């Protein structure tokens, strides 16, 4: 189980909980500095562990 709540992850990452919700739902894409902070807070080392990249089939 992950030790942080949604609000704690947002606070530790320096973003609002609303923005974190948008990232989690796919409504927004994080800028590189935000990605790095989220990776650090979540203890991950690979961007692909954090976000699933989708390719537009067009």
Summarised one tens digit per residue, pLDDT across range 30-54 is 899 999 999 999 888 887 777 666 6
Q: How far does Cα 18 stand from its chain's mean position?
A: 12
pLDDT confidence of residue 55: 66
In the chain, pLDDT over 70 holds for what percent of residues?
A: 88
- Virtual torsion, Cα 46, 52, 57, 58, nearest 10 deg: -80
**pLDDT greater than 90 at residue 3:** no
Q: How far does Cα 50 stand from its chain's mean position?
A: 6
**pLDDT greater than 70 at residue 24:** yes
């Amino acid at each position: 189980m992950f030790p942080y709540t949604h609000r704690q992850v947002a606070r530790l990452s320096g973003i609002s909980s609303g923005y974190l919700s948008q990232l989690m739902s796919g409504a927004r894409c994080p800028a590189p500095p935000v990605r790095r902070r989220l990776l650090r807070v979540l203890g991950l080392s690979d961007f692909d562990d954090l976000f699933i990249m989708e390719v537009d089939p067009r």
